[in-house]
Amino acid sequence: MTSHILLKNLIARHATNDGVQATAVPRLQLIRMSQPTEPLHAVHKPAVCILVQGRKRVSLCDKVVEYGAGSHLIVSLELPVVGHVIDATEDEPYLCLRLELDLATLGHLVLEIDEELSLSSPACTALGVGDTPQPLADAAARLVGLLDRPKDIPFLAPLIEREILYLLLRGDHAGLIHRMLTPNHRMQNVNRAISWIRANFHLPFSMEQLASEARMSASSLHEHFRTMTNMSPLQYQKQLRLQEARRLILTEAMDAATAGRRVGYDSPSQFSREYRRQYGAPPVSDISRLKVRPERFAEA
């Protein structure tokens, strides 16, 4: 039995319900979907997602990538992406594991690796897709396999996680991960801007103010922010605002006008217009659709 098949069988056995399931292994989640989903708008944390069955489409503004069984996705910044499971059935559900990237362990590994890392990167330098090599699938299978031996998790999970991160640093997207850790690298500056926007997304800001937070010039920040994330800072802010407004309307039964004001919109008409452009329907219709078939909008 190959490592890819073993990993698929392990995820299928432990992920028994549709949706995202937390596990006893720190930072590890298993995902199962038995039918295609509607596009899901969410902020994706830095992570590696190894897909073993089914197929998924991920959009970041106008950049669209698809990946399926035998491949993996790496995200190195907190990005507002649109995820869409496009191939899943009851008999062959979408199966995936997601391991959030532990920056402390990655930092130690980079310092310990003496050789030069391959630092080539994709056009969008915070998102990459590649084939899953056998050693990575093998390590992932051993990590998921620890769920059958919970007493071993505290001792062996950190070792296997370290192995997975090492393999990623040796892989095709090593540069994408390495830049997360390089002091004074442009990605670090952009990440400071992202952190500020996430903490203050309901507030207006100027590029000069944001550039000061990022410790860059306004022109440099705008250029590198778009290069890293495939969107401008204002587009990033709008994504966060609309996602939070949708959550408020759905989970807290807040009316659309109040939700729009809460996330920073002064104009109800502008909020409704941008909400419809983002989700394909005005707030009332969109939330009604979510409530009727919530499983098709499950995080995946």
- Average pLDDT for the chain: 91
Q: What is the pLDDT of residue 175?
A: 82
239-261 pLDDT, tens digit per residue, is 999 999 999 999 999 999 999 99
Element at 55 (helix H, strand E): strand 55-60
Distance of CA 246 to the CA centre of its chain: 18
pLDDT digits (tens, 9 = 90+) for 256-278: 999 999 999 999 999 999 999 99
pLDDT at 184: 61
- Architecture of the domain defined by 3-178: Sandwich (2.60)
pLDDT band at 294 (very low <50, low <70, confident <90, very high): low
Residue with structure tokens 């028994």? 16
Instruction: State yes or no: pLDDT of 43 exceeds 80.
Output: yes
- Which pLDDT belongs to residue 111? 83
| Model pLDDT, residue 200 | 97
Q: For 28-32, 65-69, 154-158, 289-293, which range has the lowest pLDDT when averaged over its residues?
A: 289-293
**Using CA atoms, how far apart are residues 192 and 224, in angstroms rounded to an integer?**
12
* CATH architecture label of 235-297: Orthogonal Bundle (1.10)
pLDDT at 158 over 90: yes
Segments making up each domain of the chain, as ranges = 3-178, 186-230, 235-297
Res 124: pLDDT: 54
Report percent pLDDT > 70 for the chain. Answer: 93
- Yes or no: say if 48 and 99 are a contact pair by the CB < 8 Å rule: yes
The pLDDT value given to residue 188? 85
Position 179 scores a pLDDT of 78
Average pLDDT, integer, range 166-178: 88
pLDDT for 110 = 83
DSSP string for residues in 260-298: HHHTT-S-HHHHHHHHHHHHSS-HHHHHHHHHH-GGGG-
| 254 DSSP 8-state letter | -
Distance CA(43)–CA(265), nearest Å, equals 20
The model's confidence at residue 116, banded by pLDDT at 50, 70 and 90, is low
Query: Which position has the token pair 């000061």?
Result: 212
Amino acid at 47: A
- Taking the C-alpha atoms of residue 286 and residue 237, their distance in angstroms, rounded to an integer, is 21
How far is it, in rounded angstroms, from Cα 157 to Cα 145?
A: 10
Q: Within 13 Å and on the Cβ side, how many CA atoms surround 225? A: 27
Structure tokens at 166: 């090492």
Q: Which residue has the higher pLDDT, 11 or 300?
A: 11
